[in-house]
Structures are given as structure tokens and as C-alpha cells.
Amino acid sequence: MKIGIIGKKNKQSVYNLAGSLNKWLAEKDVEVYVEEELGKKIDADNTIPEKKMPAVVDVVVVLGGDGTFLGVSRLVHNYNIPIVGINLGALGFLAEFTPEEVYETMERVMDGDYEVEDREMISATIYKNGSKVEDYVVLNDLVINNGPVSRIVDLAIYIDDLKVTTLKADGIILSTPTGSTAYSLSAGGPILYPTLPVILITPICPHLLTNRPLVVPSDSKITIKVLTDTQNTYLTADGQVGTIINMGDEVVLRKADSVVKLVKSPFRNYFSILKDKLMWGERYGSIDG
């Protein structure tokens, strides 16, 4: 088995765990590859450029938080590679394993004693004057808003080429079920079970209260047309990359052809994660309080 290690940059706890995990795996006669920049920090000699890693490994171990996991998901989704997320960040919805569980988890992975959960992704294509100019694939969400200036943006929404509405709002979030617990949740969207085959459309502070979150089948074609004549409308993919879009531009979204293969934790389930991370279902104070 060939295992790759990728970690969050500039974090000492990541360097410490990466160094010990790299040594432990090598002692188990596992072929290990460490992402190049991380490898320099831990004095590893088995390094490889991040972009080349998916082509040579069977499993990727991600050391960091959900942001690091999202970046790796976009790196490996076309390679059918399972991802083991070790949480060294703040939340840990995607990076399900704790540092204390890493060695038992890797023993299970090496023995083939693990489950993989497929998470759907969204593919987005930007068209300018009818010509394709940019493509993105995301695990969490795509956000369209007016960037640094807090102004209302006008967006025409079409589903399967049928006009749904013209939205006047601070923006819009187009989310997978995996991303329903991220920005969409803060904007009033529902929590969706992560393997549901749907896409969630959540307005951000809509001008009309009748514009509510909408859930559509993930095999739908969703088209967002920009109607606002400003220079600040921005599309952001997974909160990490993006581009400016202008009046008349169209963003066409569909279910991506690929999925992210997430190694499931045997130590907890999705609902326990909701309870632990978001205190979902918890009651505050006493009944009499």
C-alpha cells in the first residue's frame, strides 16, 4: 500500500504528527510519500510535489482542519482515492479522526478494515458572452456575492432552463449536503444528511422574506445569471478560490462526475458529530430558567 501525507502549513502540531506518522508507517514497511513543503519541515526524504501525489498513492492522510481537507478533496477527487482526515483544526466535520486515533485508524486502513462514504460534489462552469472561461469543482459550496462592498446583487435563477426567480440579496450559496453545515447553515439553510443526492440553494439576507432556501435534485442543471452592473460580484469556491463575475455572466452548476471518498470513523457517527461540534439538539439552561 502507498500512503500519502498532506498537512496544514505553518502549524507545529501538524509537523509533530506528520514526523511521527511518517516514521511509524515506514517501520510498517509502507511506502510513504510526504507533500514536499511539509516534508521539508520534518526533514523527510520521501517527499513529492502535492500535485503529483494523487497519481502515485492509494490513500491520502490529511492532517489539519476542514479547510485543509477541502483543498485536498479538490486535488484528489478525480483519482478515486480515499481520504483519511485527522482533525488538528477547530471544527472537524470532514476531518473526523482525532490525533489520538491516528495509529489505530492507520492499522485499520492497512488491513482494509474500513468503510468509505461517497460525498457528491458540485461542478460549476462560468460563461462570459456564451463562452466557457472557468471551471470549479467543490465539496462544500459555491458563493456569489458582492465581495468587499455590502450591496444587494440581482441574480436570475433557472433550474433545468426554467426561470425560478430573480433574487435580490447579499448573495447566494449553492451547497452540497456536505456543505449544508457550513456557510449555508449560518445563512439559515437546513442541515442535510451528507449522502443525500441534492443541491441546496440558500439566499444570503434576501430583500424579500419569501425567498427561502430551496433543495433540488442533484441531477438538476442550475443556472445563475448576474444582473447587477458592478465590478465587485465575486464567485468563491469552497471559501478558498474564486473569480470576479460581471453583469451578463452565467454560472452553470451540475452534479460533478466525481465524488470524494471519505474514510468513515468507526468511533462516531454523523449525528454524534453534529451534537459534539454544533451542540445540535442540546438544550440551554433549565426548563425553569
Tell me the CATH number at 171.
Answer: 2.60.200.30
Number of Cβ atoms within 10 Å of the Cβ of 246: 13
- Average pLDDT on 56-61 reads 96
Q: What is the pLDDT at residue 148?
A: 65
Is residue 287 one of the residues assigned to a domain? no
Tell me the CATH number at 94.
Answer: 3.40.50.10330
Residue tagged 492532517 (cell numbers):
63
Is residue 288 one of the residues assigned to a domain? no
Is 187 found in the same domain as 269?
no
Is 200 found in the same domain as 131?
yes
Backbone angles phi, psi at 44, to 5 degrees: -85, 145
Is 224 found in the same domain as 139?
yes
Own/partner pairs for 158-164, CB < 8 Å, 24+ apart? 158/222, 158/223, 158/224, 158/225, 159/216, 159/220, 159/221, 159/222, 159/223, 160/220, 160/221, 161/221, 161/223, 164/214
Is 236 found in the same domain as 130?
yes
What is the domain range of residue 12? Answer: 2-115+264-278
> Is residue 247 a contact partner of residue 229, using CB atoms and an 8 Å limit?
yes
Q: What is the pLDDT at residue 284?
A: 58
Q: Give the number of residues written for the chain.
A: 289
Is residue 285 one of the residues assigned to a domain? no
- Average pLDDT on 28-53 reads 94
Q: What is the pLDDT at residue 283?
A: 65
> Is residue 183 a contact partner of residue 173, using CB atoms and an 8 Å limit?
yes
List, for residues 136-183, the tens digit of each pLDDT value: 999 999 999 986 666 789 999 999 999 999 999 999 999 999 999 999
Is 133 found in the same domain as 213?
yes
How far is the C-alpha of 178 from the C-alpha of 119, rounded, in Å?
Answer: 7
Is 150 found in the same domain as 84?
no
Beta strand pairing call for 82-87 and 241-244 = unpaired
List, for residues 233-247, the tens digit of each pLDDT value: 999 999 999 999 999
Q: What is the pLDDT at residue 288?
A: 47
Q: What is the pLDDT at residue 101?
A: 94
Is residue 157 one of the residues assigned to a domain? yes
* Number of compact structural domains in the chain: 2
Among residues of the chain, what percentage have pLDDT more than 70? 94
Is the model's pLDDT at 282 over the cut of 90? no
Task: Tell me the pLDDT of the chain averaged across its residues.
Answer: 91
Is residue 283 one of the residues assigned to a domain? no
Is 61 found in the same domain as 46?
yes
Is 144 found in the same domain as 28?
no
Is 272 found in the same domain as 247?
no
Is the model's pLDDT at 6 over the cut of 80? yes
Would you place residue 189 in the very low, low, confident or very high pLDDT band (cuts 50, 70, 90)?
Answer: very high
Active site residues: 66
Is residue 108 one of the residues assigned to a domain? yes
Is 208 found in the same domain as 162?
yes
List, for residues 88-131, the tens digit of each pLDDT value: 877 677 888 999 999 999 999 999 999 999 999 999 999 999 89
Is 82 found in the same domain as 132?
no
Lowest model confidence (mean pLDDT) among 10-14, 18-22, 269-273: 269-273
List, for residues 25-37, the tens digit of each pLDDT value: 999 989 999 999 9
Is 93 found in the same domain as 65?
yes
Is residue 211 one of the residues assigned to a domain? yes
